[in-house]
Chains A and B, each alone.
Chain A
Amino acid sequence: VKVVTAIFGFLLVALSASAQSFQMRAGTSTLMDSSGASVKIYAPHSVMDFGVGVAQGQFVFGVSDSFHWRDYDVTAGDSQLGFSLDNAGLGVAIRGLSVKRTGEHQSFGLFAGSTNLTYGTPYFSGVRKMQHLGIGTFFKHRFSNGLTSSSLLAVEGGKHSAIESLKFERLRFSLSGAGGLLAGKTFTNLQISAHPLKPLRFSGVHQDLWEAAHVSANSASAFLNFRRLDFNAAIFSGRTVGETVGIEFHAEWIDARFNYYKTTTNSVNMIFGERIGRRTRVTETFSLSNGGNDLSIGGSYEGRHFSVSVGHQTVFLPFAVSGQSAFHQVLTVSLRLQLPHNSSLNIESLMLPDGKVRHTVYGDTWAYRNVDNSSSPSHKALQRYSIEGNVVEPDGQIVVGAAIRIGKETVFSDSHGHFSLRFSKPIAVIAKAIPEEFLVGTWAVISTPVTVTAALEESVKKIQIVVRKAQ
């Protein structure tokens, strides 16, 4: 009762806000043994997500509110956090508070709350079981000499993570190393990569992990692109030793992929895809291995009003019979119907190796409220004073869709990289680029003026903001 009251409380607060779009999803699945529904609310300053359902006989719910506060991205409620530090990563599902800030040279993250077992489907997600209290922090700093330092400290239910990573990048070469405790297990890794020519790349990785015993793993790989052909090769050594060689061919109407895998057994995979017209694609997969040969044929049609695909997939079945592999090849049929009024219906069916058929059915629609449907549109008069400028990359290339905050307003650069904002008087305001709000891509600011003054049309001086693409 408390949970339902809390969700309705959140919904009431959310619904009192103005100009909202609602994305609603509902569905049921005999494959995942669950049914549920969710509502995502896009408000002017935040995105709220509510999900509720029954999974394997257990009540599951999820609530979150994500918003921007000053320079921070804040999520209150349920969130899935992922921290990546050069070949090592930590994923945490948390019910609490997470805060993130991404700057030109520094990134910072902090989370605190209960760590959970989560449940996710295409139509709702939520927390199945709250496990432990967890707290953690992440910090990344990029130095001007090409060195990047990252740190992660986290405690989750008695499992400690403390990782430090250093990465050096210069021209066509990078070297990185990381080490520490990852969920209570000691590890180290070292990675080196080089691309002496644009279409040619080499990389090597060495990893050590101390669980009950010391485990060491090494890998080396190479990649070459020549016109429509991609070649790749890799060798692995660890608990098992393996080699792979592959070649891919891509053309407008046809593509082909050949892969050879050698571990304790040898296997060859060949995949051919043909495009028939703009909407239809047919694929043939040949698998040759010591256990036998297999041919599977699939196809898909992507239409304006419906899409359908039939094929064979290797899927992970978490509730497979003990002692048998959880990976099985199954026949899949999926259908997506585009309904009127921005709605869609999805039906997915799987035929399992034992002949049983499992279905997943879910729908998706949009609604809105408190939006401005009045006959009088919003309007701002033409003012005499203006601030104008351009956004460019260091080599002078224009940047389209760059977000610039001038005083309290946010403006965007047009297809010539130009932006402007008008004022009724010659006031001085703070102007800065906001990379996290750029319309496309990930960017970092190199130079931006601090204070600018609005001037008359004939005497306005254009300011210049320089940004670069961030990795």
Chain B
Amino acid sequence: MYKTWILAVFVLISVSASAQQLAPPVLELSVKRNIGRGAVLLGNNAVIPQTVTLEAVGFTVSEMGGASSQPLDPSITVNFSETSFRMPPKSQHQIDYDVICPKVPCHVQIQANFHGLRTTNGIAVVIRLISFVYLVQREALRVEDVQIQKEIQGLVITNRSEKYGRVEATLRYVDGTERVEGFPLFPGAIRKVTFEKPGYGILKFPKGSFDSRKQ
């Protein structure tokens, strides 16, 4: 009988758990001078403690939208209130930070590395979560600041200004479906938006919009 009780107790006791968290995934700080102040919120929803290390690195975005990390530009400084700490199970922790850039706009990537229980041998698994931070000029990017070229496969957007702006692209296809994507447009950068099927695109800039049907 006691065996049944032991197994019944085991079956009845269960808990919920999910993964580690870092928020927000993207933060745009509109700044007057070259300093931006922000914060990230980290969550440990695991049932074991986590040791977290925070780092700031640089990143680039390709013409097709792929982001790749690179060492932080030495002219950019990022100060965290804490760069490493232990998080108890089911806890949240907020980290404040300053980003100091030689000129605005600029961007950095904050990496939070979650380490589980320590190991003296074997494989140590590290979960890396990323938050993208953009220091943005006060003056908004206008549709007149960019050059847009229509191609058979899509649109090529060239930013001819020194401004940063986030663009929302709505791609509507002839079969009635649509795809919406948002992306950053860096000063002097080129970005390609590809149509998967025949259709047209509407680009919304912080100021103004572009409709490929009207061109």
Q: Could you say which residues of chain A place their CB within 8 Å of the CB of B49?
A: 21, 42, 44
Q: How many residues of B contact A (CB 8 A)?
A: 48
Is B81's CB within 8 Å of the partner chain A?
yes
- Using known A-B contacts A26-B10, A412-B51, A413-B53, determine if residue A341 contacts B82 with beta carbons closer than 8 Å: no
Interface centre among B17, B47, B121 (most CB of A within 10 A): B47
B83 to chain A: which residues have CB within 8 Å? Answer: 411, 414, 418-421
Asked whether A365 lies within 8 Å of B81 as measured between CB atoms, the reply is: no
| Nearest CB in chain B: distance from A316 CB, A | 25
- For A382, give its contact among B41, B53, B80 (CB under 8 Å): B80
Interface residues of A in 371-401 (CB under 8 A from B): 371-373, 377-383, 401
The CA of A366 and the CA of B48, in the complex, are separated in Å by 9
Contact across chains for A366 and B15 when beta carbons are under 8 A apart:
yes
Q: Which of B17, B54, B124 contacts A440 (CB 8 A)?
A: B124
Q: Does B58 contact A (CB under 8 A)?
A: no
Render B84-95 as a binary contact track against A, CB cut-off 8 A, 1 for contact: 111011111111
Cβ B93 vs Cβ A378 within 8 A: yes
Query: Which residues from 330 to 371 on chain A have a C-beta closer than 8 Å to any C-beta of chain B?
Result: 339-343, 361, 363, 365-368, 371
Query: Is B92 touching A377 in the complex (CB atoms < 8 A)?
Result: yes
* B contact residues around A21 at 8 Å (CB): 47-49, 89
A439 CB, min distance to chain B CBs, angstroms: 5
Instruction: Considering the complex, give the chain A residue whose CB is closest to the CB of B91.
Output: A372
Are A422 and B88 in touch, CB under 8 angstroms?
A: no
Interface string of A25-55 (1 = CB under 8 A from B): 1111000000111000010100000000010
Cα distance A440–B118 when bound, in Å? 6
Interface string of A417-429 (1 = CB under 8 A from B): 0111110000000
The smallest C-beta distance from B71 to any residue of chain A, in angstroms, reads 9
A438 within 8 A of B: yes
B9 an interface residue at 8 Å Cβ cutoff?
A: yes
Q: Is the interface of A mostly helix, strand, loop or mixed?
A: strand
8 A Cβ contacts from B4-51 to A: 6-7, 9-11, 13-17, 41-43, 47-49, 51
User: A36-B6, A342-B17, A377-B93 known; A415 and B41 CB under 8 Å?
Assistant: no
Which residues of chain A have C-beta atoms less than 8 A from B92's C-beta?
372, 377-378
A contact residues around B6 at 8 Å (CB)? 26-28, 35-37
A414 touching B115, Cβ below 8 Å: no
Bound Cα distance A365, B17 (Å): 11
Which chain A residues lie closer than 8 Å to B213 at the CB level? none
Taking A368-B90, A371-B89 as contacts, is the C-beta distance between A24 and B48 under 8 angstroms? no
Known: A28-B6, A363-B10, A365-B15. A437 touches B118 (CB 8 A): yes
Set of chain A residues within 8 Å of B86, measured between Cβ atoms: 410
**A293 CB to nearest chain B CB (Å):** 37
Contact of B17 with A371 in the complex, beta carbons under 8 Å: no
Q: How far is the CA of A451 from the CA of B107 in the complex (A)?
A: 37
In the bound assembly, the distance between CA atoms of A339 and B118 in angstroms comes to 25
User: Contact at B93–A379, with CB atoms within 8 Å?
Assistant: yes
User: Once the chains bind, are A422 and B82 in contact (CB under 8 Å)?
Assistant: yes
Q: Judging by beta carbons under 8 Å apart, are A422 and B81 in contact?
A: yes
In the complex, which residue of chain A has the Cβ closest to the Cβ of B119? A440
Smallest Cβ distance from B175 to chain A, in angstroms? 35
**Is B55 positioned at the interface, with any CB of A under 8 Å from its CB?**
yes
B101 CB, nearest partner CB in chain A, Å: 15
Q: Which residues of A contact B16 (CB under 8 A)?
A: 341
How many whole Å from A386's CB to the nearest CB in chain B?
8
Q: Is the CB of B93 within 8 A of A19?
A: no
Closest to B82 in A: A380
Evaluate whether A401 and B115 lie within 8 angstroms (CB atoms) in the complex, with A372-B91, A439-B51 already known: yes
B122 to chain A, nearest CB (A): 9
Q: What residues of A have a CB within 8 angstroms of the CB of B97 in the complex?
A: 382
Nearest chain B CB to A468 CB, angstrom units: 15
Set of chain A residues within 8 Å of B120, measured between Cβ atoms: 440-442
Is A262 part of the binding interface, using a Cβ–Cβ cutoff of 8 Å? no
13 A-B contact pairs sorted by A residue (CB < 8 Å): A19-B88, A21-B48, A24-B13, A35-B6, A343-B14, A368-B15, A372-B88, A373-B90, A377-B43, A378-B92, A382-B81, A441-B119, A442-B120
Which residues of A line the B interface, CB within 8 A? 19, 21, 24-28, 35-37, 42, 44, 54, 339-343, 361, 363, 365-368, 371-373, 377-383, 401, 410-416, 418-422, 437-442, 457
Contacts A414-B83, A422-B82 aside, 4 further interface pairs with beta carbons under 8 A come to A44-B88, A340-B14, A365-B10, A371-B91
